[in-house]
Structure 1
Amino acid sequence: MKPTVSLEKDLRKEMRMTAVRRAVLGSVAAVGVISTALIAPNALLMLKPFLKQYERQKKYQTKKAISRLIAGGFLMMEKTSRGSFVVLTKKGKNCVAQWELRGYKVKKPKKWDKKWRVVIFDIPEKRKQLRGEVRTILTGIGFVRLQDSVWIYPYNCEEFVVLLKAELGLGRDVLYLIVDRVEDDRALRIRFKLD
């Protein structure tokens, strides 16, 4: 069994690597493609806006992050007559889309229109991980769970739900309802500070 100090050290190292991988994915998403010349020492400057602790990052961390992202199916190498480039795969695009969804903010009007927004989803068991991700995203936005796959929110969030369905490929798996009344909604009104 590893000593606790070593476990903590390993965890910090993994967290740093995750930050680098996230920065690389964010860079590729923002630019579209990144030349493998990026791995050269001076080319790391391109990543600077995406790295909070740029000065501490080393060239090998970026190389390792790119290798792991390629191995994980988030990036792929494309060779053209102009050189080699790293591009996002469908899996990489989905990952970036999920980050964007997690950071999405719904505009809250000054006055509540007394209508509830309900999201119902029926995502098959074989896509269980995606189902968990949808729950995490809904919770992050501020939705409250009524039942396992029934979530409620008091403000207009149709744009967000359309984005959620499109970015995660949910289509008919998600329904968006606008409801006039919910039985005994007093606890919900208190929860959302609507009274």
Structure 2
Amino acid sequence: MLAKSRFHKPVEEKFAETILAAALGGIAMVSPVAAVVGVFAVVGAGHYLFRQKDFNHEVRRLKRKGYVALTKTENGWIVRILNKGKARYRKIQMSNLQLAKSGEWDRKWRLFIFDIPEDMRHERDYLRRKLKQLDLYNIQRSVFAYPFDCRKELSFVADYYNIEKYTTYAEVSYTDIDKELKRHFTAKKIL
């Protein structure tokens, strides 16, 4: 992705996500050498090439917002993510979270079960909303199903809302509502 100097929200968001991820991994560095045409960042499976001035602009914006700190070295500047930046990055990860929707189904259902106390009802409501957004099937108020492995993603969601100790993940090969689940996930084009 070659980012343009005039930012639009999706490009700016991707820029911030890439820089925050790079800083979180400790790999972001800004070179003071004007001859450097671009900054190359490798994050997960994505490779992004940014123009140096755009990268510098975004790093300064993230610094102004309190997401990153800059440390001068003899080779340039090191970008270090701060707690506020880590929280922002987790929020970006949460909004971009998706579950696998294709592939060969192993004929097992993944159940996500929770029993969250009433004094944490806001977190419980946020969790339900997120699970529905991720296309899990709501079997009962606190039981959701999905046909593909999603343990890691659901663990992240539970951790994000700080409710992991109230959740359980199970894989089952049969339920009384197999036909209903298959019909639902086929209609959603997940199966």
- Give the unaligned 5+ runs of structure 1: 1-10
Q: 1:65 aligns with which of 58, 64, 82?
A: 58
Q: CA deviation at 1:171?
A: 2.8
- The verdict on how the C-alpha distance between 1:96 and 1:40 changes in structure 2, with shifts beyond 3 A counting, is farther
Whether 1:157 aligns to 2:146 is no
- Give the unaligned 5+ runs of structure 2: 1-5
Matches within 5 A, 1:63-102: 63-78=56-71, 84-96=77-89, 99=93, 102=97
TM-score by length of 2: 0.59
- The verdict on how the C-alpha distance between 1:92 and 1:147 changes in structure 2, with shifts beyond 3 A counting, is farther
Contact 1:38 1:44 in 2 (8 A): no
- The verdict on how the C-alpha distance between 1:45 and 1:36 changes in structure 2, with shifts beyond 3 A counting, is closer
Contact 2:112 2:144 in 1 (8 A): yes
Matches within 5 A, 1:26-41: 26-29=21-24, 31-37=25-31, 40=34
Whether 1:50 aligns to 2:44 is no
Give 3-state SS (helix, strand or coil) of 2:31's partner. helix
Number of aligned residues: 174
Distance 2:169 2:160 in 1: 16
AA partner of residue 143 (structure 1)? L
- The verdict on how the C-alpha distance between 1:158 and 1:22 changes in structure 2, with shifts beyond 3 A counting, is closer
Report percent identity of matched pairs: 16
Q: CA deviation at 1:37?
A: 2.3
Which structure has more helix as a fraction of its residues? 1
Q: CA deviation at 1:190?
A: 0.3
Q: 2:107 aligns with which of 109, 112, 136?
A: 112
- The verdict on how the C-alpha distance between 1:191 and 1:167 changes in structure 2, with shifts beyond 3 A counting, is same
Residue 172 of structure 1 aligns with which residue? 165
Contact 2:28 2:41 in 1 (8 A): no
Contact 1:116 1:152 in 2 (8 A): yes
- The verdict on how the C-alpha distance between 1:73 and 1:119 changes in structure 2, with shifts beyond 3 A counting, is farther
Distance 2:97 2:86 in 1: 14
Contact 1:106 1:160 in 2 (8 A): no
Q: 1:139 aligns with which of 112, 125, 133?
A: 133
TM-score by length of 1: 0.58
